Amino acid sequence: MTLDERIDDMLGRYGEVCTKAQASKIMGCSYYKIRAMLEDWRLKTACAGSMVDVRRMAEYICAPSTVEEIARKERLRKKLNTTWVV
């Protein structure tokens, strides 16, 4: 299944966003794993952090290594932009 087909399928089933509990069932992992994936940018939040973006979940399912690389770069960018107050 291609990424576009996966996104269309998942959007049809779950909508644009889902809860963290629903995401854990969809991804086949624990609620805490979903929280960890949100914290380290592998998945994206929506609705002020209360929901999970279904498109990003589809991207992760189809190409986890690509999403991991994007998340790694985002973490590095955030780390470099952090200012330290002494």
Buried b (16+ CB within 10 A) or exposed e, 17-55: bbebebbbebbeeeeeebeebbeebbbbbeeeeebbbbb
When pLDDT is averaged across residues 23-27 and rounded to a whole number, the result is 95
CA distances from 70 to 12, 25, 76, 84 (A): 26, 24, 10, 25
- Single pTM value for the model: 0.78
Predicted confidence at residue 41, as pLDDT, reads 86
Looking at per-residue pLDDT, the higher value among 79 and 72 belongs to 72
User: What are the pLDDT digits (tens) for 39-65?
Assistant: 888 999 998 888 999 999 999 999 899
When pLDDT is averaged across residues 55-76 and rounded to a whole number, the result is 89
pLDDT band at residue 80 under the 50/70/90 scheme:
confident
CA distances from 12 to 37, 39, 55 (A): 23, 26, 11
According to DSSP, residue 16 is labeled S
